[in-house]
Structure 1
């Protein structure tokens, strides 16, 4: 990609971020629609903030005549709780892989008619038969990601390549932010302690809880999907965040770095799914198929800078995306990273209760 096109992409992301900030909404509950004419049909899309191409919704409307109304959630826990209380009209949602398994177990998702999603063939083979969603498929992969530490280079002493700096040190007291999602916090703390992300015991969870309670006076914030903004604004110097979010702000500020800690981390995939009770199932399949198109996937990846499992889209991307070490990290931390498994509602409850006690301490 030329310097001019790179600058244009950074500018579009900044404009998107600035728009949300100016509206004072942090993305949650905001509704954006594709513009222009059309058939008058509407589809409701429930997703993460800053997680769609700049023109994807309007391009879909031009191609189909269907307007997409997009609203935003901050955590998987929020998505799950809202849908568990009853679908209020959403047609397509974007749960992470473990929540696909959790929502399948709770009978909250519809099985997909794969004959209506021919662009599934664009997905790389490694992502087509995921353990978290065996056939019949209830989701298709949208992105994949890894959790790490985003940091301001000028404010740290060397690369902060261990979870220690977030969980177990006073070196950056008052200048760190952690994710608020309970299972991620517990399991990454366990990873720091030398354990696997999966198969944790109640004693393991208690050990991480105790460590977080000791660390809590040094933690500036438990953030909900806006850690990159805290880092970019200078509110914190280290943040637990996803690689794509840090890649977005690094395109705006070359003082931003990202590392997957040497102890290893958590791999995730975000997916496209149709919740039970969706009022427009046929249109939902049409929209999902559109998002998996090679050109549509390319435009999405250009905007959000997350690694894409869409092999056809990735092939269209420039080398400075495909070789970007924030988007596609390598090294010891990646080698030790794992995919998390949904291990049942009891394990989820134990993690949530532990983090509730941490937050209240």
Structure 2
């Protein structure tokens, strides 16, 4: 679900600073280190989704080394942990996968007494519908999907999902998400159906529309749509607001809009997976990430909207008043959280996108 001042691309960021310098590994299991308890923890995170100095600052404060390995989407995260924890202490699933993993007994309940910085979180995120009482998760970011685009290549503001789902106008210059659930839900939103429906008629229309549109789509991307847009490989892409906000600092010809039909709002969360080797240190790390100063440093880097009210208060107007990072309330009112509605429906979404991509 996202950085850098160092480089406009995620791969460039890792190459530019040296992955080892901040404890980043590019693989999952291979990146887990199982050092003595109290010495290091393993953090499984999205790419470019941490502050420039966060891990170094945490080590300086606590003496704990954080080894961060990377996943590209929630499906990959879920698959990695489905067969058992391979050494991870803290993970960053999106809200519907918090539900899915909790129901599958893949998460440890959180001890709020060990996370006093929960007080910094905005009331809007203290008791979310996907995790009442914050039993399983703490909020890391929130985000909304929309269309990133190159202004010089697109006619007007593309504030309609039809430009990526139902039109040949930008044939060969369109990027869409690879993650099955997100893509299906956005098409449902465009077609006027409830975004989390399992209605077979609606899902058949989603599949048919995507198969029809497939010849116009250049790429199904794994959370690197902003890089493809920045490099000129595509001109319009489904991406998260924070990802596009990052590259807009590099290229003034780029912009972002949430289509008029509304979209999917999400929250990426901090969780402790079942069987975490160092649960006390995991709580300590989560509490650190919810610190006001640490949260502000993360937000300044990744450009995602923060649920941390204390951190937001420390930010400048270019962040707090940025309509890409914080879209207007009127359009957010048309956005819905994804919900987990059982393994059968999740597999059905995945099967739809598998058939679309094979068509």
**Band the TM-score falls in, shorter-chain normalisation:** over 0.9
| 1:308 alignment counterpart | 306
Equivalents in 2 of 1:148, 1:283: separation in Å? Answer: 36
**What runs of 5+ residues in structure 1 fail to find an aligned partner?**
1-8, 34-38
Q: What does 1:249-264 align with in structure 2 at a 5 Å threshold? A: 249-264=247-262
Partner in structure 2 of residue 11 of structure 1: 5
Secondary structure in structure 1 of the residue aligned to 2:146:
strand
**In the aligned structure 1, how far is the partner of 2:327 from the partner of 2:95?**
20
Runs of 4 or more consecutive aligned structure 1 residues displaced over 6 Å after TM superposition:
22-27, 30-33
Which of 14, 23, 36 is 1:20 aligned to? 14
The alignment status of 1:212 with 2:210, answered yes or no, reads: yes
**Alignment deviations for residues 74-127 of structure 1 (CA, whole Å, 9 cap, x no partner):** 000000010002211000000000000000100000000110000011000110
Aligned residues: 349
Partner in structure 2 of residue 234 of structure 1: 232
Segment drifting more, 135-144 vs 15-24: 15-24
> What is the distance in 2 between the residues matched to 1:123 and 1:113?
16
Task: Give the 5 Å matches for 1:98-247.
Answer: 98-135=96-133, 137-247=135-245
Shift of 1:200: 3.5
Q: Structure 1 CA distance, aligned partners of 2:5 and 2:275?
A: 39
Q: Deviations over 1:232-272 (max 9, x none)?
A: 00000000000000000001111001000001100000000
Q: Any idea what the Cα deviations from partners look like across 1:179-220, whole Å, max 9, x if unmatched?
A: 011111111001111122123412111110110001111111
Contact 1:28/1:49, CA 8 A, preserved across alignment: no
> How far did 1:40 drift?
7.2
Q: Following superposition of structure 1 onto structure 2, how do residues 290-309 of structure 1 map, counting pairs within 5 Å?
A: 290-309=288-307
Q: Distance in 2 between matches of 1:68 and 1:222?
A: 32
- Per the alignment, do residues 109 and 144 of structure 1 end up closer, same or farther by CA in structure 2, a change over 3 Å counting? same
2:64 pairs, out of 66, 69, 72, with: 66
TM-score (norm 2): 0.92
Question: Take 2:224 and 2:9, find their aligned partners in 1: how far apart are those partners?
Answer: 16
Q: Which among 36, 52, 55 is matched to residue 54 of structure 1?
A: 52
> How does 1:255-274 map onto structure 2 within 5 Å?
255-274=253-272
Cα distance in structure 1, aligned partners of 2:303 and 2:69: 20
Shift of residue 11 of structure 1? 3.2
User: Does 1:280 pair with 2:274?
Assistant: no
Distance, in Å, in 2 between the alignment partners of 1:150 and 1:19 is: 21
Partners of 2:159 and 2:258 within 8 A in 1: yes
1:276 match: secondary structure: coil
Structure 1 residue 85 corresponds to structure 2 residue 83? yes
Instruction: Single out whichever of 264-273 and 324-333 deviates more from structure 2.
Output: 324-333
Q: Deviations over 1:151-190 (max 9, x none)?
A: 0000001011100000000000000010011111111001
1:97 equivalent in structure 2: 95
**CA distance in 2: counterparts of 1:74 and 1:309, whole angstroms:** 22
Q: CA deviation at 1:342?
A: 1.0
Using a 3 Å threshold, how does the CA distance of structure 1 residues 22 and 318 change in structure 2: closer, same or farther? closer
Partners in 1 of 2:4 and 2:15 — Cα distance? Answer: 16
Which of 22, 29, 39 is the equivalent residue of 2:27?
29
Aligned counterparts of 1:271 and 1:356: Cα–Cα separation in 2:
27
C-alpha change, 1:72 and 1:249, in structure 2 (3 Å) is same
- Coordinate RMSD, CA, aligned: 2.3
Q: Distance in 1 between matches of 2:173 and 2:164?
A: 10
1:337 to 326, 330, 335: 335
Unmatched runs of 5 consecutive residues or more in structure 2: none
Contact 2:305–2:326, Cα closer than 8 Å, also in 1 = yes
Stretch of structure 1 that moved more, 72-81 or 12-21: 12-21
Is the CA contact 2:143–2:304 (under 8 Å) kept in the aligned structure 1? yes
Do 1:17 and 1:50's aligned partners in 2 also have CA atoms closer than 8 Å? no
